[in-house]
Structure formats: C-alpha cells, structure tokens
C-alpha cells in the first residue's frame, strides 16, 4: 500500500448527529482535493467495475471508530488531500485542526490550528475546518466553516491568513460566506472555487481578489434548475469547463457549466427524492472525478461510495455496505469525502467512525 500522490454551529440536515457543515463536508468537500485541477497520471482505460478491494485499511485515526484529540485520533474528519512525500492532509473538523499523516505513521501532526482541538477565530485557531486543497508546494487553502472564511496557510507556517470571507461574520454578499465547505483551486491561475453551502451557491475568487462572483446557484435553496440546495462537495470537469456539484438536500449530482445560468442532472433524482438503489442517492456529500471522467460519489446517508462510469447514471457500490453503518473494515458510517490517487486507490473520510479508510484498486 502507498499514498501515491495527489453565525453558529451548523447541524446535519437529517440531524443524525450534530456536526458542522464541514462534517457534512464530514458527512459532507477535491478531491475538495481532487477538485484541485491538477491532473493525475494513470493508464487511460475505464476501470472495470468491482475492482476495488471492499475491505478497507485504516490509514488515519483509530480503526475501532474511537474519536479524540490525541495525535493518533481524529474527530469527524472531513476533507482530505494528498500531499508530497506520501502525506495525507485531513480537515479534522471537530478537532478544529488540519492534520498531516505520513505513510504508515501511527499518528498525525497538526499543521494548522491547535493540536489540543481548541476552537477560535484568530490567525492560529480554527473553527470546524471542512476541506483542504494544496498547491505544488503543499501550501494549504481550506474552508474554516464556522468562522465563515477561507484561510491560506503556508507550508510550515505557524499561522494563517484569511483570504476570502470575513472572520466570524456570516453573510450573503460577494465578500462573505455562510458556512463554506468545499473548496477547489485552479493550479494554473490560482483561482479558488468555494461551496458557500448555507447560501446555496458556488463562489469564484480570482487570485488576490477581495470579493467573489457567483458561478452556480445563488437563487435560494430548492430543486429548480437555477438553484442549489446545501452544496457541499464539488469537483471541476475540465473537459466541459463545468462543476459537478453534490446537492445534499435534493439528493442529486448536477453539472453547472461555468457561465451558464442553470444546471443539468447527472446522477440521482431531478425532484429531490432519495433512495438506495443503483440510480438513487441519499445526501451526497463528497464527489471527485478520475482523469477519464468517471465519477465517485460519497453517498453519505447510504453509508457507501458509488462509482459511475463516465456518462452513466447507474452506479456501483465500491466501498461500504448500502444502508448498513458500522465499524467493520468493509463498512462506513456517514462518510464525508473521497479522493483517488494516481493508481485509482480510494481514500475515504469515514466521518462518524473518526477515521480515514484506504481501499486499494486491483
């Protein structure tokens, strides 16, 4: 196994347990880390179905599902990202910190926030970070959800800088957020895309901009084709210059072409119906693409990861057991995030089990 590289408290929509939107981004963001637009280098073939080992390996946190603030534990992990030197970056939501784990390590290191889990709104403290993306130097960009901001934290730095939003102020103007969760970064331009989850929109921030532009949603929560409903994770599809967005409340994945005024349905119900069949999903949170356009969806309330071949709306369960939460190595419990490495191995934030699981591609 290897890590081959690449307001107030907000509660879950279904109130199965209390976590912030980030934990939605925990039950909930591109890779918010494979949503970074860096391409992966893998053989150009469509992966065969059922080619992932359905028994996971715990690579961060306790395999038993125990949560805590110790450096070998996590508490509702959300967004995850692959960094250099076989490292995994984890938005440790309820511990208000970003953790870095090296391959085969038994514990993580706090690289942003306080190691003891204390929340705050200063340049050194965080409050429910939901998702994280990296640049080529492992500098971090992450959503600090309950501080309603996006933070830049240089690799090795002891403090961060607010680069979008206003710390501690929830709003709906073009320079404020309300519970931002997912984040993506265009590595070629430095442009950031942020899921402004409780404003039901995706915002675009150009490099060094002090305010953003609405590029998807912004018309209130709802199932209409000009609306989004609690978007958490999203990813960028460069082949169509579009965002694939996980609409948690309306139980679907939609495609919003940049510059368009509405979306088209990709996966799930157009009316918001939930389900556990191969064509329906229930509170999708995280989403990512592989380099040939196949889609991986964190079907949170079904406790599974669904795989959709590019262009198809009929999915296959490749991790977790549909409708069966648990702590066994073949089970998930309200997972939040998924990323794939350059060998198509899966890394899954198993949020309510307070761990990150690795599922190898065979």
The per-residue pLDDT for range 116-129, each reduced to its tens digit, is 999 999 999 999 99
SS3 284: strand
The answer to whether residue 261 is domain-embedded is yes
| CATH number reported for the structural domain that contains residue 278 in this entry | 2.120.10.30
The answer to whether residue 248 is domain-embedded is yes
Which pLDDT value is given to residue 50?
Answer: 54
SS3 352: helix
Which pLDDT value is given to residue 238?
Answer: 86
**For 62-80, what is the mean pLDDT?**
98
Which pLDDT value is given to residue 46?
Answer: 47
From the list 330, 247, 288, the residue with the least C-alpha distance to 55 is 330
The answer to whether residue 41 is domain-embedded is no
The answer to whether residue 14 is domain-embedded is no
Percent of the chain with pLDDT over 70: 86
The answer to whether residue 33 is domain-embedded is no
The answer to whether residue 19 is domain-embedded is no
Q: Is the pLDDT of residue 259 over 90?
A: yes
**Average pLDDT over the chain, rounded to an integer:** 89
CB 33 within 8 A of CB 142: no
**For 71-80, what is the mean pLDDT?**
98
pTM > 0.85: yes or no: yes
170-216 confidence digits (pLDDT tens) = 999 999 999 999 999 999 999 999 999 999 999 999 999 999 999 99
Structural domain count, the chain: 1
Which pLDDT value is given to residue 357?
Answer: 98
Domain that residue 205 falls in: 57-359
The answer to whether residue 8 is domain-embedded is no
Least confident of 8-22, 195-209, 341-355: 8-22
The answer to whether residue 206 is domain-embedded is yes
93: its two tokens: 């939501």
| C-alpha span between 201 and 206 (Å, rounded) | 16
Confidence of residue 36 (pLDDT cuts 50, 70, 90): very low
Please report which residue ranges of the chain form alpha helices under DSSP H.
21-24
């Amino acid at each position: 196994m290897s890590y081959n590289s690449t307001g107030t408290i907000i509660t879950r929509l279904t109130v199965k347990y209390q976590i912030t939107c980030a934990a939605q981004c925990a039950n909930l963001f591109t890779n918010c880390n494979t949503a970074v637009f860096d391409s992966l280098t893998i053989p150009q073939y469509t992966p065969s179905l059922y080619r992932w080992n359905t028994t996971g390996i715990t690579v961060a946190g306790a395999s038993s599902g125990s949560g805590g603030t110790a450096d070998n534990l996590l508490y509702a992990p959300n967004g995850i990202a692959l960094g250099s030197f076989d490292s995994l970056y984890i938005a440790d939501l309820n511990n208000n910190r970003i953790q870095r784990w090296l391959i085969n390590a038994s514990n993580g290191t706090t690289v942003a926030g306080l190691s003891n889990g204390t929340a705050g709104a200063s340049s050194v403290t965080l409050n429910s970070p939901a998702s994280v993306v990296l640049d080529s130097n492992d500098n971090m960009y992450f959503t600090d959800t309950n501080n309603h901001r996006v933070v830049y934290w240089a690799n090795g730095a002891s403090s961060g800088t607010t680069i979008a939003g206003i710390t501690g102020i929830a709003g709906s103007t073009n320079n404020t957020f309300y519970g931002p969760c997912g984040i993506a970064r265009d590595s070629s331009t430095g442009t950031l895309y942020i899921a402004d989850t409780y404003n039901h929109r995706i915002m675009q921030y150009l490099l060094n901009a002090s305010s953003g532009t609405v590029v998807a949603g912004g018309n209130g929560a709802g199932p209409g084709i000009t609306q989004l409903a609690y978007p958490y994770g999203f990813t960028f599809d460069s082949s169509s210059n579009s965002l694939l967005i996980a609409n948690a409340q309306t139980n679907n994945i939609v495609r919003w072409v940049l510059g368009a005024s509405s979306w088209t349905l990709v996966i799930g119900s157009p009316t918001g119906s939930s389900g556990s069949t191969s064509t329906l999903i229930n509170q999708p949170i995280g989403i990512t693409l592989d380099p040939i356009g196949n889609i991986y969806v964190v079907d949170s309330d079904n406790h599974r990861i669904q795989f959709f071949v590019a262009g198809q709306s009929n999915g296959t369960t490749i991790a977790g057991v549909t409708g069966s939460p648990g702590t066994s190595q073949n089970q998930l419990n309200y997972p939040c995030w998924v990323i794939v490495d350059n060998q198509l191995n899966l890394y899954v934030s198993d949020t309510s089990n307070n761990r990150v699981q690795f599922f190898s591609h065979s």
